[in-house]
Amino acid sequence: MTPPIRIVLSSDHAALALRAAIAAHLADMGHEVVDIGPTTTESTHYPAHGEAAARRVASGDCALGIILCGTGQGIMMAANKVKGIRCGVCSDPFSARMIRAHNDANMLSLGARVVGEGLALEIVDAFLGARFEGGRHQTRVEMITALEA
């Protein structure tokens, strides 16, 4: 059982329905969901939404972030430009578990045009259920952080 945490959610226009499903799922699990939009399917720009969510995590306002666009790729690229963010795109639960266990990811990105809702929720559960293993992985994560300097 994952203790309740504060999780920021955002997406572009391609992922509103899946984002809503994830928000409901997280709330059902007892998490505090900070859904920062957008709220309409009008075409928008994923870098702005990736950055906004990433800043909530980087500042410590939210413990983790989940972001979505059509492929999950563009919004992930934007989020990773924010200092302190480690975000991976996942299309399977194994990768979602490993980006936390080995890479200490603090954000997950999903492609709403890639994964269906059932799989997406399994990916979210795997991400939230995993823990960073530290040890040799700590050194490697510190090497990633050093690249930001």
Among this protein's residues, is 102 annotated catalytic? yes
- Of 87-106, binders to ligand RB5 (CB under 6 A) are none
Binding status of residue 70 toward ligand RB5 by CB under 6 A: yes
β-bridge pairing 87-89 and 64-69: unpaired
Q: Name the minimum Å distance from CB 82 to ligand RB5.
A: 17
**Window 32-61: contact mask with ligand RB5 (x via CB under 6 A):** --------------x---------------
Binding status of residue 110 toward ligand RB5 by CB under 6 A: no
What residues contact 1, with CB distance under 8 A and at least 6 apart?
none
Among this protein's residues, is 87 annotated catalytic? no
